[in-house]
Copies of this chain bind each other. A is one copy, B any other.
């Protein structure tokens, strides 16, 4: 296969561009000495090759530079909570064990997480926001002694049609079994806003372009106590957003058994609404890469039911 990463000037703007292709070649020889074979490239999957479902990297003493479908700086250092269930149960209105960062981890959709969070519902009117795919992100991570640093950005442009941009920096310090870190993410986004007023028949739908700015400060900590790992974060999203968001999760290993869970809470100060969600799961390692895993998850939103799963996971 082959990969590439760099910047392209298209006549008016510089854009990030990355691609990875996997080549399959196969061949054989008949008893009579004829050779046969074939080739195929997995580059037809457009998402994988335009940098939104794959990544390439180059690394050295300076750290590691990745381009493509990479996470933002904060997530690169702090990660998510313990994954509950064999399917991660994130189908529950999008609330799962992931920590919702402002930038990155979005397949090139700048502002995707915040667009979801910014949806509003007032009386008979609801407004949702969506974003255009804006191509590959760039992530730098480096570790220097006890310090880890990360920086990420999107060029915010897919063929120069989107003005959205995002940046993030994060740092972490590890001492013994404890790690603390701080991240700052900034988003200057252009969203497609769709407002629906269901008080009329048919509903009145208004579609427009909404420019918005947001930033997020995330303070996170991880501690290891014997067989138990505890992670917590507290974050605030500001500018056009006003969200207080925190969570805590833990997992413990008892021989082949691991149990874990999390609880997260977000307060949307603008609409004075809030949501709490949590999950609890366990897994048993069968060895060789097979694990029995299950979990339950729920949130306190009206009309939302508990979800659960139980299955076998394989790692090859």
Contacts and interface: CB of A to CB of B under 8 A. Distances in A.
Interface of A: 1-12, 17, 19-20, 22, 24, 26-42, 44-45, 47-48, 53-61, 68, 85-87, 89, 91, 286-290, 293-294, 304-316
A40 to B, nearest CB: 4
Majority DSSP secondary structure for residues of A touching B: strand
A4 B312 CA distance: 5
Given A86-B4, A91-B10, A34 B311 contact: no
B1 A26 contact: yes
A90 B251 CA distance: 51
A34 B58 contact: yes
Question: How many copies of this chain sit in the oligomeric assembly?
Answer: 3
Given A6-B311, A8-B308, A20 B38 contact: yes
Given A6-B312, A36-B288, A56-B314, 6 more contacts: A4-B313, A8-B307, A28-B315, A30-B287, A39-B54, A42-B45
A287 B31 contact: yes
Contacts of A286: 30-32, 34
A32 B314 contact: no
Contacts of A61: 33
